[in-house]
Amino acid sequence: MTVLDSKIPEGPLETKWSNYKSHVKLVNPSNKRKLEIIVVGTGLAGASAAASLAELGYKVKAYCYQDSPRRAHSIAAQGGINAAKNYKNDGDSVYRLFYDTIKGGDFRAREANVYRLAEVSTSIIDQCVAQGVPFAREYGGLLDNRSFGGAQVSRTFYARGQTGQQLLLGAYSALSRQIGLGNVEMFSRHEMVELVNIDGKARGIIARDLKTGKLERHFGHAVVLATGGYGNVFFLSTNAMGCNVTAAWKAHKKGAFFANPCYTQIHPTCIPVSGDYQSKLTLMSESLRNDGRVWVPKKQGDKRKPQDIPEEERDYYLERKYPSFGNLAPRDISSRAAKEACDDGRGVGESGLAVYLDFADAVKRLGKSVVEARYGNLFDMYKHITNEDPYQTPMRIYPAVHYTMGGLWVDYNLMTTVQGLYATGESNFSDHGANRLGASALMQGLADGYFVLPYTIGDYLAGEIFTKAVPTDHPAFVEAEKAANERIQKLLSVKGNRTVDDFHKSLGKIIWEYCGMARSAEGLTKAKGLLKQLREDFWKDVRVTGGAEEMNVDLEKAGRVADFIELGELMVNDALQRNESCGGHFRVEYQDEGEAQRNDAEYAYVSAWEHKGVGQEAQLHKEDLVFENIKLATRSYK
């Protein structure tokens, strides 16, 4: 029944990728010059792909909505990037990185893709060092590593707390070089608003110049989406303000299946929401849980100052529930436990949506200077934002959305279900299953862009060498531009009473409440109705100011929120059909004493949704996950 062909190469896991590379079709240099590739997004996945493809000789056009490709949100990643270098001689290997990633993803990722990711991880570090990325060094001049969650080895490379910034600036430098050489044409402050398909193949995009508002038609023999995740569907997340699903969603509406949309990751240690005006959330490094103790008052509605609550009236709930892991319980578990405490009326702070992360014991045990040496910069950051001193009073933290594992369905070649349309990095679904491990997002973005796509795209383009560039007055371009324009006009013509942000906040509340850390059939069914209503209200009552042909920030946001509402409906459907709990998807009906209960017999598949029209039920396709090398096991942290 399935129409999905994952195109996993034959042969043993360890040799699949090298065999693939030896037999993949090639495009000769003179033909590469005639082939044009569109790359949307310039984060780690997009910038690395655009630069590498241009180096190979293809004609590349790259697009980003920011004012410069250097600003993509990969830049905000702090911790590090994993690679199976085994520089520490501590027993790391490609297989171990592969296994940790599959297990971390709660056995819901495709073996062959993850193995390839682990395999190319080592080349990424080599590439970045050669580009001048200033990784942390030891005194002997060699590279330093740190350890990270979900692993027993030190395999994380880092550049202070700014690893994402340095890796992105490395990719940006490679991209800049190719722009300077004339091999990449760069379109900053441009947003993709339509995909153009001709005879079932992706052949271009319609982009809106955000400076002038003008719609432009761009042809490509292939189109690559490297457009990031959709965490901003929740309104509040650790994503940048402009992060959006629009490009991926337009592709979805033109035939690209959307996979596992309900797999979202909620990070347990963020600075909590302080008021209705709040626009985004800030992550505090998870490492704080090494020495901080998480607690809430035992009594509901206890409004005393934390210092005034005696020891016996505090509930150190992680230590109580998970004695063997305590405050270091994994992300999904810790996040859910915080939510439960707050739902129980025991949350702290003005909003009641926070828990304490207390360092009083650590200061007593280690002394202030040791705590300062370990976490000083994080304490400063916290104080700067909240105006509270964590040496004096416990930090208040709360979980926040920060990564989405779901995304466009892709095969082993990273091609979507639309011929010639690729999705890379966070915008695809392929490598993290139902839960991503720390320091793996940077690895995947760069693996896709530097080392996977440059090979796999050739396999497709080898068959396109006789395809002439399609003139952009082709009816498919005209029609796509017309559709984009009509939608813009429609947004401007509603002239209703509610602002775009107002709708976005309503959307965020619904998704957070019913499709956030804990989900139930009852809640999801309710959310379905609420979202349908919200979509209808949006198109009846939204107010968008200004005009189409000018810089119009209100209009930009309106288009993105309209797409987020439709995506929200799909997320809820996906969460509803998955009658199990796994990774970031926790259905309250499926638990065993609070632990996620996976159902491998019935749900070891990727859900890939086919769009059937707005307001119509999308059609579910299933890609069965076959585990040939790994034995499925249960995770327990008690």
Partner 1 sequence: MKFNLKIWRQKNAQVAGKMVDYVIDNINADMSFLEMMDVLNEELIRKGDEPVAFDHDCREGICGMCSMHINGRPHGPLRGTTTCQLYMRNFTDGETIYIEPFRADAFPIIRDLAVDRSAFDRIMQVGGFISVNTGQVQDANNIPVNKADADLAMDAASCIGCGACVAACKNASASLFVSAKISQYALLPQGRIEAKERVLAMVNQMDDEGFGSCTNTGACEAECPKGISLTNIARMNREYYSASIS
Contacting residue, 6, 66, 244, 334, with partner 1 by CB under 8 A: 66
Q: How far apart are CA 189 and CA 556, in angstroms?
A: 11
Contacting residue, 451, 514, 586, 603, with partner 1 by CB under 8 A: 451
For position 33 contacting partner 1 by CB under 8 A, the verdict is no
Beta-strand relationship, 59-63 and 184-187: parallel
For position 174 contacting partner 1 by CB under 8 A, the verdict is yes
Site for partner 1 in 275-334 (CB under 8 A): 275, 277-280, 282
Tokens of 365: 């045990």
For position 361 contacting partner 1 by CB under 8 A, the verdict is no
Which among 118-126, 284-292, 464-472, 602-610 is the span making contact with partner 1, rule CB under 8 A?
118-126
| Angle between helical axes of 163-180 and 44-56 (0-180°, round to 10) | 30
**Least separation in angstroms between CB 469 and partner 1:** 25
Helix or strand or coil: residue 10? coil
For partner 1, give the closer residue by CB, 139 or 466.
Answer: 139
In contact, 486 and 499? CB cutoff 8 Å: no
Site for partner 1 in 581-620 (CB under 8 A): none
Tokens of 488: 């813009």
**Least separation in angstroms between CB 60 and partner 1:** 13
Closest C-alpha among 17, 41, 80, 70 to residue 426: 41
For partner 1, give the closer residue by CB, 72 or 355.
Answer: 72
**Least separation in angstroms between CB 30 and partner 1:** 19
Helix or strand or coil: residue 81? strand
Site for partner 1 in 206-265 (CB under 8 A): 211, 240-242
For position 545 contacting partner 1 by CB under 8 A, the verdict is yes
**Least separation in angstroms between CB 347 and partner 1:** 18
Q: How far apart are CA 425 and CA 48, in angstroms?
A: 10
Which among 10-18, 165-173, 254-262, 287-295 is the span making contact with partner 1, rule CB under 8 A?
165-173
**Least separation in angstroms between CB 512 and partner 1:** 19
Contacting residue, 141, 301, 471, 475, with partner 1 by CB under 8 A: 141
Contacting residue, 12, 29, 91, 180, with partner 1 by CB under 8 A: 180
In contact, 144 and 136? CB cutoff 8 Å: yes
Would you call 216 exposed, middle or buried from its count of C-beta atoms within 10 A (0-12, 13-18, 19+)? middle
For partner 1, give the closer residue by CB, 126 or 624.
Answer: 126
**Least separation in angstroms between CB 27 and partner 1:** 16
For partner 1, give the closer residue by CB, 5 or 380.
Answer: 380
| Interface size with partner 1, residues (CB under 8 A) | 77
Q: How far apart are CA 409 and CA 252, in angstroms?
A: 10
For position 140 contacting partner 1 by CB under 8 A, the verdict is yes
For position 55 contacting partner 1 by CB under 8 A, the verdict is yes
For position 274 contacting partner 1 by CB under 8 A, the verdict is yes
**Least separation in angstroms between CB 167 and partner 1:** 11
Q: How far apart are CA 263 and CA 405, in angstroms?
A: 5
Site for partner 1 in 495-534 (CB under 8 A): 499, 501-502
Beta-strand relationship, 215-219 and 201-209: antiparallel
In contact, 107 and 604? CB cutoff 8 Å: yes
For partner 1, give the closer residue by CB, 300 or 545.
Answer: 545
Closest C-alpha among 36, 53, 41, 74 to residue 190: 41
Which among 326-334, 338-346, 494-502, 523-531 is the span making contact with partner 1, rule CB under 8 A?
494-502
Helix H, strand E, coil C: the string for 401-434 is EEEECCEECCCCCCECCCECEEECHHHECCCCCC
Q: How many other CB atoms sit within 10 Å of the CB of residue 181? A: 10
Would you call 302 exposed, middle or buried from its count of C-beta atoms within 10 A (0-12, 13-18, 19+)? middle
Active site residue 331: yes
Which among 145-153, 529-537, 548-556, 620-628 is the span making contact with partner 1, rule CB under 8 A?
548-556
For position 385 contacting partner 1 by CB under 8 A, the verdict is yes
Closest C-alpha among 520, 537, 533 to residue 590: 520
For position 87 contacting partner 1 by CB under 8 A, the verdict is yes
Tokens of 166: 């340095």
**Least separation in angstroms between CB 141 and partner 1:** 3
**Least separation in angstroms between CB 72 and partner 1:** 8
Beta-strand relationship, 222-225 and 36-40: parallel
**Least separation in angstroms between CB 277 and partner 1:** 5
For partner 1, give the closer residue by CB, 67 or 589.
Answer: 67
Q: How far apart are CA 443 and CA 452, in angstroms?
A: 12
For partner 1, give the closer residue by CB, 367 or 546.
Answer: 546
For position 402 contacting partner 1 by CB under 8 A, the verdict is no
What lies within 8 Å, CB to CB, of 325 at 6+ separation is: 318, 637, 638
Which among 15-23, 122-130, 418-426, 477-485 is the span making contact with partner 1, rule CB under 8 A?
122-130
Contacting residue, 26, 33, 93, 134, with partner 1 by CB under 8 A: 134
Which among 18-26, 378-386, 391-399, 483-491 is the span making contact with partner 1, rule CB under 8 A?
378-386
DSSP string over 327-390: GG--HHHHHHHHHHHHHTT---TTTS--EEEE-HHHHHHH-HHHHHHHHHHHHHHHHHHHS--T
DSSP 8-class letter at 449: I
For position 454 contacting partner 1 by CB under 8 A, the verdict is yes
Which among 140-148, 215-223, 603-611, 626-634 is the span making contact with partner 1, rule CB under 8 A?
140-148
Contacting residue, 8, 24, 76, 328, with partner 1 by CB under 8 A: 76
Q: How far apart are CA 617 and CA 621, in angstroms?
A: 13
**Least separation in angstroms between CB 274 and partner 1:** 5
Q: CA-CA distances (angstroms) from residue 539 to 257, 496, 533, 536?
A: 25, 9, 10, 6
For partner 1, give the closer residue by CB, 173 or 591.
Answer: 173
For partner 1, give the closer residue by CB, 357 or 453.
Answer: 453
Q: How far apart are CA 13 and CA 626, in angstroms?
A: 12
**Least separation in angstroms between CB 127 and partner 1:** 6
Active-site position among 331, 346, 396, 578: 331
For partner 1, give the closer residue by CB, 242 or 583.
Answer: 242
Contacting residue, 19, 31, 162, 597, with partner 1 by CB under 8 A: 162
Contacting residue, 61, 73, 108, 339, with partner 1 by CB under 8 A: 73
Helix or strand or coil: residue 314? strand
* Catalytic center residues: 331
